[in-house]
Amino acid sequence: MKTSEALGIALKDDLDLVLVVPNANPPVAKIVDFAKFLYDEKKKESTAKAKSKKTEVKELRLSPTTGEGDMQRFVKRAKEFIDDGDKVKITVKMKGREAMFPEVAIDQIRKIEKELNEVAKIEEEPKRLGNTVWAMFVGK
């Protein structure tokens, strides 16, 4: 329909002609009450925002001397976080002379990687930063 016809219908019904998709060929317009149109658009945005989940980074800290039982607890907790859609950062903090052997900390992270193999993949390989070694895991 021509623009002049649409404007005539809109004025007759005391409504507005709103351009919805200006880049289309031909452009798409609606005859609506503009205040109600704006209200509906804001409502759509707020519901979309409420439904979207922001991913968080959950950090689990351990040491090179952490026992097997505690490792299993960390793995179980990491699986819960990943199932919730979060990323998991495993940090191994070394103290004193432990820092001379960073391969022990990397081995700890590799053990956790094997345990999380079915639900997560490693996003960032183990990195050393001072007295800490860390790696980031994300769900598959």
DSSP per-residue letters across 95-110: -GGGGG-HHHHHHHHH
46 lies in the same domain as 77: no
State residue 135's pLDDT score: 94
Residue 3 DSSP SS3: helix
Instruction: Show the CA angle centred on residue 111, arms to residues 130 and 124, nearest 5°.
Output: 50
Tell me which H or E stretch contains 10: helix 3-12
pLDDT at 6 over 90: no
Domain extent at residue 16: 3-50
My answer on whether 10 and 75 are in the same domain is: no
Is residue 39 scored above 90 in pLDDT?
yes
Query: Residue 70 has what pLDDT?
Result: 92
Whichever domain contains 8, its CATH number is 3.10.20.80
Mean pLDDT for 115-134 is: 90
Distance separating alpha carbons of residues 80 and 66, to the nearest angstrom: 20
Do 71 and 124 fall within a single domain? Answer: yes
Task: Flag whether pLDDT at 133 surpasses 90.
Answer: yes
129 phi/psi in degrees, rounded to 5: -135, 95
Per-residue burial over 78-98, b = 16 or more CB atoms within 10 Å of its CB, e = otherwise = bbebbeeebbbbbbbbbeeeb
What confidence score (pLDDT) does residue 72 get? 93
**One domain for residues 15 and 80:** no
Q: How many angstroms separate the CA atoms of 28 and 101, rounded?
A: 66
Report CA 20 to chain centroid distance, whole Å. 30
- Check whether residue 43 and residue 73 sit in a common domain: no
Render pLDDT for 54-101 as a digit per residue (tens, 0 to 9).
Answer: 778 999 999 999 999 999 999 999 999 999 888 999 999 999 998 898
Cα 95 to Cα 54: distance, rounded to the nearest angstrom:
34
Do residues 25 and 70 share a domain?
A: no
* 76 and 9 assigned to the same domain: no
| pLDDT of res. 20 | 84
Q: What is the pTM of this model?
A: 0.62
Most distant CA pair in the chain: distance in Å? 85
